[in-house]
Amino acid sequence: MAIKDQPQPSRARQIGNILLLVSGLFLLANLFLPNLFGQPIPRVPYSLFIHQVQDHEVARASVGQNEIRYQLKGENDQPGAVFSTTPIFDLELPKRLEDNGVEFAATPPPRNSWFGNILSWVIPPLVFVAIWQFFISRGSGGQQGVLSIGKSRAKVYVEGDSGKITFADVAGVEEAKTELVEIVDFLKTPQRYIQIGARIPKGVLLIGPPGTGKTLLAKAVAGEANVPFFSISGSEFVELFVGVGSSRVRDLFEQAKKQAPCIIFIDELDAIGKSRATGGFYGGNDEREQTLNQLLTEMDGFAAGEQTVIVLAATNRPETLDPALLRPGRFDRQVLVDRPDLQGRLAILEIHAKEVKLGKDVDLKAIATRTPGFAGADLANLVNEAALLAARNNRTAVSQADFAEAIERVVAGLEKKSRVLNDKEKKIVAYHEVGHAMVAVVMPGSGKVEKISIVPRGMAALGYTLQLPTEDRFLMSETELQGQIATLLGGRSAEEVVFGSITTGASNDLQRATDLAERMVTTYGMSKVLGPLAYQQGQQNMFLGNEALNPRRMVSPETAEAIDKEVKNIVEAAHHQALDILKENRELLETIASKLLETEVIEGEELNNLLNQVKTVESPVAVGT
């Protein structure tokens, strides 16, 4: 927490900026020098000039390629006003001038003033130096405890920093911590692994919504292993100039290797690692692609061994990443850093509450209960808000009432980002998830239910039911596929049974159920009506990316209609099965759902005992009838 991510503008940077500004002004001045340092000469149209010549008003003219300057006849032979005009290509001009008695000559080559001359020599290098200064200074954000690297702009946190972060500072993400403990071990005693011939992983990808502690975890790994920590954000790689990103990557890895063992942390990996297939127009972003390629090259290049450099990266949009990044030898380890459950929130609150003075009436457990969907950063923010409120009210310690008010403030902020469920929504999600689980236990092919949770999970889902397949399956029977479809519809069916209405929360379930049913009909030939024909082409369209997967074969309109009808039949049959199961077990549905509302997560033995009570329903409906 002593480490800030944003470098302060340094003195060097300020000087660089000023230099840049000054030289820019000079440049502008130089452009307009003739006007600034010469006399302003009024411009007239060429036609007027010709008229004046014909009317014998012009005394003398100096004819240049781009400009004619001329003087009108004054009174008493005194020189009159000077004008300027832009000539039109006119071969008759000399003759015309002569005929009208104008004294004329060609303009001599321009003779700049000594001042302008010197300026035009001095300014370009000055601008150059200023720009150079500017970039150098940006590289060295002079900040305490942070050594900076010129080109890569990565920030390095060296061991022994006052605010060293360890795993004790991170809570509520136990699974992620367990995985990362291993990485710490790799960094501490690489010999142990090398000696036995094990390959030390090079890349670990931390996946999770914003504010769940990905950056914090990466720092904690470095802190635990006591190694330097290079941190850079993906968006910092991709800059104005083509080629800068890839040279930054090269530079970063060079620096890191010198300090090995160490950690490189790339935040916002998606900024450079976006899938090339989904990049819009092809050739869309060359710079990003070059940077990505360089990153891949570097990761392939260094042999984990003598130099233990482990690359940690974070993203909250894993689905957009280029698959090349996830191949073995690159970010082949993926660690989910998700929003904390009740226990986790309590633990996080305890960590952050240490920084403030708590009143005697503060009940952190109660606060944790009231903050489902809060990520670690939201909880840290909550504690701080409460402390601010207490201070504003001249209290010496933070009271429970301050927390209550702070929750409201933070929730109001989060609701805009639509991450927090109100009580009604929480209830719906609970029934929905229990619905999935109950259908899953009695239907074939649905795997074992490991965990039900109403803690908002990942980026989109409101709650989730975690199923693990009991064994690796390559072949699925028709009834098993039906079972899966019924399970997918279990959530929506529970909403129907309990509330009589349905919400938008099931859209992803429906999508997946429909896809599965469609595949049964068009790919696996499981429909009696359509027979064992494949109506789908398994080819991936190389240019359009994933959206264009599995386009339907050209089929006659009648066949298309028949396919749609079959798909609908399968899904509806499964829907009825799900409804039957839930209606039959209505009481149990209530029991499990209210339990889930209380604890937010049910898993393990307890879940098994509850789900074992689900009664199967006879007379499953056959497909296609």
List residues binding ligand ADP (CB under 6 A): 170-173, 208, 210-216, 314, 348, 351, 376-377, 380
Do the bridges between strand 448-453 and strand 601-603 make them parallel or antiparallel, or are there none, so unpaired? antiparallel
Catalytic residue among 433, 496, 518, 600: 433
If binding is defined by CB under 5 A, does position 509 make contact with Zn ion?
yes
If binding is defined by CB under 5 A, does position 491 make contact with Zn ion?
yes
Burial status of residue 281 (CB atoms within 10 A of its CB: 0-12, 13-18, 19 or more): exposed
DSSP secondary structure code for residue 105 in this structure: E
In whole angstroms, how close is the CB of 349 to ligand ADP at the nearest point?
A: 9
In whole angstroms, how close is the CB of 462 to Zn ion at the nearest point?
A: 8
DSSP secondary structure code for residue 88 in this structure: P
* CB atoms near residue 378 (< 10 Å): 25
Element housing 81 (H / E): strand 79-85
Q: Which does 551 bind (CB under 5 to 8 A by kind): Mg ion, Zn ion, ligand ADP, none?
A: none
Nearest to 527 by CA among 472, 481, 570, 470: 570
Q: Which residues pair with 417 in a beta bridge?
A: none
Instruction: Tell me whether residue 285 or residue 384 sits nearer to ligand ADP (CB atom).
Output: 384
Burial status of residue 455 (CB atoms within 10 A of its CB: 0-12, 13-18, 19 or more): buried
Instruction: Tell me whether residue 238 or residue 494 sits nearer to Zn ion (CB atom).
Output: 494
Q: Which does 377 bind (CB under 5 to 8 A by kind): ligand ADP, Zn ion, Mg ion, none?
A: ligand ADP
Does the annotation mark 433 as catalytic? yes
Q: Which two tokens stand for residue 307?
A: 């130099």
Instruction: Tell me whether residue 419 or residue 432 sits nearer to Mg ion (CB atom).
Output: 419
Instruction: Tell me whether residue 509 or residue 566 sits nearer to Zn ion (CB atom).
Output: 509
Residue showing the smallest CB distance to Mg ion in the complex = 215
In whole angstroms, how close is the CB of 323 to ligand ADP at the nearest point?
A: 23
In whole angstroms, how close is the CB of 356 to ligand ADP at the nearest point?
A: 13
Q: Which stretch binds Zn ion (CB under 5 A): 55-63, 127-135, 233-241, 491-499?
A: 491-499
* C-alpha 586 chain-centroid distance: 43
Maximum Cα–Cα distance for the chain, whole Å? Answer: 123
- Indicate the residue type of 591: T
| Residues in touch with Mg ion (CB under 5 A) | 215
If binding is defined by CB under 5 A, does position 490 make contact with Zn ion?
no
d(CA 437, CA 452): 7
Q: How far is CA 284 from CA 274, 276, 472, 548, in A?
A: 12, 9, 40, 19
Residues whose CB falls within 8 Å of the CB of residue 213, separated by 6 or more in sequence, listed in order: 170, 172, 173, 337, 375, 376, 377
- Phi and psi at residue 88, in whole multiples of 5°? -100, 145
Q: Which stretch binds Zn ion (CB under 5 A): 97-105, 194-202, 291-299, 485-493?
A: 485-493
Asked if 305 and 260 touch (Cβ cutoff 8 Å), the reply is: no
Residue showing the smallest CB distance to Zn ion in the complex = 491
457: left (phi over 0), alpha (psi -120 to 50) or beta: beta
Q: Which does 582 bind (CB under 5 to 8 A by kind): ligand ADP, Mg ion, Zn ion, none?
A: none
Tokens 């595949």 belong to 519
Q: Which does 491 bind (CB under 5 to 8 A by kind): Zn ion, ligand ADP, Mg ion, none?
A: Zn ion
In whole angstroms, how close is the CB of 352 to ligand ADP at the nearest point?
A: 6
Instruction: Tell me whether residue 228 or residue 376 sits nearer to ligand ADP (CB atom).
Output: 376
In whole angstroms, how close is the CB of 243 to Zn ion at the nearest point?
A: 47
In whole angstroms, how close is the CB of 366 to ligand ADP at the nearest point?
A: 19
Instruction: Tell me whether residue 171 or residue 187 sits nearer to ligand ADP (CB atom).
Output: 171
Instruction: Tell me whether residue 325 or residue 526 sits nearer to Mg ion (CB atom).
Output: 325
Q: Which does 171 bind (CB under 5 to 8 A by kind): Mg ion, Zn ion, ligand ADP, none?
A: ligand ADP
d(CA 317, CA 577): 35
* CB atoms near residue 154 (< 10 Å): 23
Q: Which does 522 bind (CB under 5 to 8 A by kind): Zn ion, Mg ion, ligand ADP, none?
A: none
Residues annotated as part of the active site: 433
Q: Where does this chain bind Zn ion (CB under 5 A)?
A: 491, 509
